[in-house]
Amino acid sequence: MKSFEYVAPESIQEAVGFLTGGRGESEVLAGGMDLITSMKQGLTEPKRLVSLKNIPSLKRIEVSQEEVTIGSMVSLKDLAAHPAVQRQFPSLVTAVKGIGSAQMRALGTVGGDLCQRPRCWFFRNGMGLFPIKDGVSLIEEGDNRYHAIFGNDGPALFVSPSSLGPALAALGAKVNIATGSSRGGIRTVSAGNFFKTPSSDQERETILGSNDLVESVSIPVSGLKNATYEVRHRSGLDWPYVTASVAFQAKGGRADGGSIVLGHVAPRPWPAIHASNLLNGSVIDDDLAEKCAEAAVRGARPLSRNGYKVHMVKAAVKRAVLAAAQS
């Protein structure tokens, strides 16, 4: 690991002021669960780390009649333990509890989860986001068991590792971004639009600029039925194969405004639009859940070794829909 400058500002304005230089010149340090590992692996070599640990406003959870606002430095453990989150957003609680390490839940943060880099083993072994040799994609021709089955028509074949992203997108959450650009202040984007698919190794998997940081996440309090279902190899420290997060309003015994978002199957949280549309105006029962499951895999393009994910998506969507109805 190369030497670096360490700063611990006490305000958001001071923090974004330290995020100078181009991409990777300065890095935000939250819980450090991913960043420190990436530095040890030589994937990033920042000249400065900007720690957020001394900014109290980033550790808040504020509850109003309209929304719950969660600071980016709130730990995953504290997020899952908060009464308002448990009451309103069981899909988030399930996503956090799926992280199989107590240490990771205690140290990992909301902002860190959203901004972590892909777990693709080609990338983690220094081959880049788009590993190619002699004009051939190493992922397409290699071990792609855990790679994308959606959104993989371009060179990006990794999957978004965020545990919270699918649930936040399904819940209609907003991500509030503090920026050090000429605009200054806070800008807000939907959780679904916070993530993006990069087209070069110089880009990241979110819309954050080099002098931006996640300030908080705001989730509307609208009485949504919601749930998350993960398919895992076993209970442990690894990431799930497939996640499905579901949210909808229950009106007169029928679903309305439904949203189904998939995780760990695409370079960003993937909205299952056809399945979401089936929820609207429908009574939630086993038959509808089965139809949503089938609709959710429309357009899937498995690679040579990850076709099993198609079946897992069906199972996750069906169980998440039924779990949401009971929430």
What is the per-residue pLDDT for 23?
85
CA atoms within a 13 Å half-sphere pointing along the CA-CB vector of 107? 12
Phi/psi of residue 179, nearest 5 degrees: -125, 145
Rg (CA), the chain: 19
Distances (CA, A) of 217 to 13, 79, 194, 323: 18, 12, 11, 24
Mean pLDDT, rounded, for 208-233:
96
**Could you report the per-residue pLDDT of 27-55, keeping only the tens digit for each?**
999 999 999 999 999 999 999 999 999 99
Q: Does domain 57-327 have CATH number 3.30.1360.20?
A: no
- Report the alpha-carbon distance of residue 144 to residue 228 in Å, rounded: 25
pLDDT above 90 coverage of the chain, percent: 93
CA 43 to chain centre: 20
- Beta bridge pairs of residue 214: 177
The angle that helices 308-325 and 286-296 make with each other, rounded to 10 degrees, is 140
pLDDT at 185 over 70: yes
**Could you report the per-residue pLDDT of 283-327, keeping only the tens digit for each?**
999 999 999 999 999 999 999 999 999 999 999 999 999 999 999
Which one, of 161, 160, 319, lies nearest residue 237 by Cα? 161
Contact 213, 177 (CB under 8 A): yes
